[in-house]
């Protein structure tokens, strides 16, 4: 009886395996550089031509291979990094499957030159399409050189699916940057079509490598992270808002030195920035996660680009709290503390009596409407309050107040800068932080009854959306009840919402409630609702502000979780160095 099922020959098997491991020049470079790192190299050089399609060359000064090992390295599943099944539980090397060189050799013209520490000559092997064409002994220094020419020359269909040279080169550029960041103690040199793109000598710390790789603009916006939670340590750098990027490729994450793109990690990073950026914007982050090897499974993806954590909640909390603490000085979920369960009326915090304010020589209030405010005589015996000094440069309460500009802007100054503060954005930030505290601590805001309750009618879908979130509205101070099949009645609003339009607010809230992209994340949805409430309630353009009102706002900003951006990620201030102003005025 004839059979239709047959065992594939070795050449076909290798090409199928290559399709899983090697899908573009990026994959070749990744596998070869990982081999160099595992070989304990201290210097690695990568050269590519035509986006890696014509040539990829990787040279290192690692341990190299003996003559016999060089032949074995071209066999599938031949490796020096695993000896038993138990080793898969705690993988500490970059590579481990032993299939990269065999896969690459089956779809290219490969040249391998290697030499170990012995006194024997080096070995040169030439392989075309998985077939060994040449093997000889040659003189060579310690280390390994691998040249991959004419990638996919024997798989034309795969070659057609590659992008243009520039696109393929950009992928490799980013890959080399990731390696350089992950291993600052190694030297990396990278050239593209004969042009040097990166020369990163070995350094002692990651911040030194950041200075090599990134521009001064990026470096000036970075803050350091170093946070430990149970068995997980998170360290690295993130850029302070409002410095943002247009896509998620600006988030570099490494697990035990391995560059990965993991949904859990990315989600935790985005969660930490959720109230600091506009939607559709992404942070710049360089994060290193360190944990015992047995706590992470790297054997879940053909290209080792994804991992699985044995304790995902611990990892997520470590990232979330670490990033949040670096940006705002406290973990994302601090222990609850007692807080007054009522949002005070404007202006933000109780206004001190004017007679208690000593004169401030540095605060000449402009415009003239502030000149009529009576000031008490000076009291030399009483020192000036610390909040009005320059002891904390950059802190809002220590700034001098010059006055107001049309359009909701306050003019402030420090010893070094002229500062324009967006009053609306600042008020929005203060309100949002207090609303967020109320939501997290499950307390309720004060409610002020309306003389004439408002009845609002909606479609059935909109009505159901509002009713589903009625508890959140009540906690923030809105007295809302059902009033029929498709109507609600608003009987009260928070005191700080007196001047806002309830109907306009509820329309914007419904739009957020019906956003399908937020339905799967209730916490983020609630935060978006609170952002809208704060935005609608914040004063748009104040007519006149008493100096004590301005002082109260500045003090509230200092107490805020993030006093640099509004909840939507827009900057609160624009700063002009006094040194630049002096230059423009012709002063030295």
Cα angle for residues 296, 300, 301 (degrees, 5° grid)? 125
- pLDDT (tens digit per residue) in 101-158: 888 998 999 999 999 888 788 999 999 988 899 999 988 889 999 999 999 998 888 8
Tokens of 440: 């997290």
Average pLDDT over residues 382-394: 40
Model pLDDT, residue 333 = 54
Q: How far apart are CA 383 and CA 283, in angstroms?
A: 43
Locate the DSSP E strands across 193-334.
Answer: 195-200, 222-229, 232-239, 251-255, 258-260, 285-290, 296-297, 308-309
Give percent of the chain above pLDDT 90: 19
Q: Quick check: 259 and 182 in contact, CB under 8 A?
A: yes
Q: How far apart are CA 260 and CA 266, in angstroms?
A: 10
- pLDDT (tens digit per residue) in 239-259: 887 777 877 888 888 888 888
Which range among 76-90, 177-191, 345-359, 417-431 shows the weakest confidence by mean pLDDT?
345-359
Average pLDDT over residues 58-68: 92
Model pLDDT, residue 228 = 92
For residue 319, cis peptide bond before it (omega within 30 degrees of 0): no
Residue 340 has pLDDT above 50, yes or no: no
Model pLDDT, residue 339 = 39
- Work out the mean pLDDT of the chain and round it to a whole number: 79
Q: How far apart are CA 277 and CA 524, in angstroms?
A: 13
Model pLDDT, residue 516 = 60
Task: Name all domains of the chain by residue range, CATH numbers in brackets.
Answer: 10-198 (3.30.565.10), 214-328 (3.30.230.10), 337-351+393-588 (3.30.1540.20)
Model pLDDT, residue 78 = 60
For residue 501, cis peptide bond before it (omega within 30 degrees of 0): no
Residue 383 has pLDDT above 50, yes or no: no
Residue 188 has pLDDT above 80, yes or no: yes
Model pLDDT, residue 226 = 92
Model pLDDT, residue 91 = 55
Instruction: Give 450's pLDDT tier (boundaries 50, 70, 90).
Output: confident
For residue 347, cis peptide bond before it (omega within 30 degrees of 0): yes
Model pLDDT, residue 249 = 81
Instruction: Give 75's pLDDT tier (boundaries 50, 70, 90).
Output: confident
To the nearest 10 degrees (0 to 180), the angle between helices 502-513 and 522-537 is: 160
> Is residue 457 helix, strand or coil?
strand
Residue 61 has pLDDT above 60, yes or no: yes
Residue 313 has pLDDT above 60, yes or no: yes
Cα 240 to Cα 253, 273, 285, 518, distances in angstroms: 17, 10, 10, 25
């Amino acid at each position: 009886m004839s059979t239709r099922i047959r065992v594939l020959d070795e050449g076909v098997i290798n090409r199928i395996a290559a399709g899983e491991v090697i899908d573009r020049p990026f994959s070749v470079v990744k596998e070869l550089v990982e081999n160099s790192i595992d070989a304990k190299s201290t210097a690695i050089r990568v050269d590519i031509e035509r986006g890696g399609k014509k040539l990829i060359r990787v040279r290192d000064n690692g341990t190299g291979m003996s003559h016999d090992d060089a032949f074995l390295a071209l066999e599938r599943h031949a490796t020096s990094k695993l000896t038993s099944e138990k080793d898969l539980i705690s993988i500490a090397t970059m590579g481990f499957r032993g299939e990269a060189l065999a896969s690459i050799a089956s779809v290219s013209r490969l040249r391998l030159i290697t030499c170990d520490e012995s006194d024997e000559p080096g070995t040169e092997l030439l392989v075309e399409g998985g077939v060994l064409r040449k093997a000889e002994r040659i003189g060579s220094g310690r280390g390994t050189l691998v040249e991959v020419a004419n990638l996919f020359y024997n798989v034309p269909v795969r070659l057609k699916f590659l992008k243009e040279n520039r696109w393929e080169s950009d992928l490799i550029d980013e890959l080399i940057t990731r390696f350089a960041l992950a291993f600052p103690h190694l030297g990396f040199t990278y050239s593209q079509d004969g042009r040097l793109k990166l020369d990163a000598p070995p350094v002692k710390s990651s911040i030194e490598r950041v200075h090599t790789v990134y521009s001064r603009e990026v470096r000036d916006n970075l803050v350091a992270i170093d946070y430990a939670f149970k068995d997980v340590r998170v360290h690295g750098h993130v850029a302070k808002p409002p410095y943002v990027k247009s896509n998620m490729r600006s988030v570099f994450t490494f697990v035990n030195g391995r560059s990965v793109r993991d949904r859990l990690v990315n989600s935790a990073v985005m969660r930490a920035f959720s109230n600091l950026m506009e939607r559709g914007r992404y942070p710049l982050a360089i994060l290193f996660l360190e944990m015992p090897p047995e706590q992470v499974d790297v054997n879940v993806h053909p290209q080792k680009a994804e991992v699985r954590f044995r304790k995902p909640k611990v990892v997520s909390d470590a990232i979330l709290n670490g990033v949040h603490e670096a940006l705002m000085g406290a973990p994302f979920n601090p222990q609850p503390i007692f807080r007054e369960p009522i949002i005070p009326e404007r202006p933000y915090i109780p206004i001190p009596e004017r007679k208690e304010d000593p004169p401030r020589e540095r605060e000449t209030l402009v415009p003239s409407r502030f000149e009529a405010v009576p000031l008490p005589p000076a009291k030399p015996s009483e020192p000036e309050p610390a909040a009005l000094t320059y002891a904390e440069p950059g802190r809002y309460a220590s700034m001098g107040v010059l006055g107001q500009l049309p359009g909701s802007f306050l003019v402030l100054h420090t010893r070094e800068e002229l500062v324009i503060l967006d009053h609306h954005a600042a008020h929005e930030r203060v309100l949002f932080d207090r609303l967020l505290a109320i939501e997290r601590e499950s307390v309720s805001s004060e409610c002020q009854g309306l003389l004439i309750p408002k009845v609002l009618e909606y479609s059935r879908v909109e009505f159901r959306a509002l009713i589903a979130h009625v508890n959140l509205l009540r906690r923030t101070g809105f007295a809302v009840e059902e009033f029929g099949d498709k109507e609600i009645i608003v009987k009260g609003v928070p005191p700080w919402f007196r001047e806002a339009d309830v109907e306009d607010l509820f329309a914007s809230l419904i739009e957020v409630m019906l956003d399908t992209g937020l339905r799967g994340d209730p916490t983020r949805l609630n935060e978006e609702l609170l952002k809208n409430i704060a935005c609608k309630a914040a004063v748009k353009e104040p007519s006149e502000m008493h100096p004590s009102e301005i002082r109260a706002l500045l003090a509230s900003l200092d107490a805020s979780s993030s006093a640099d951006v509004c909840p939507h990620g827009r900057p609160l201030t624009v700063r002009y160095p006094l040194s630049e102003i002096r230059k423009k005025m012709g002063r030295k």
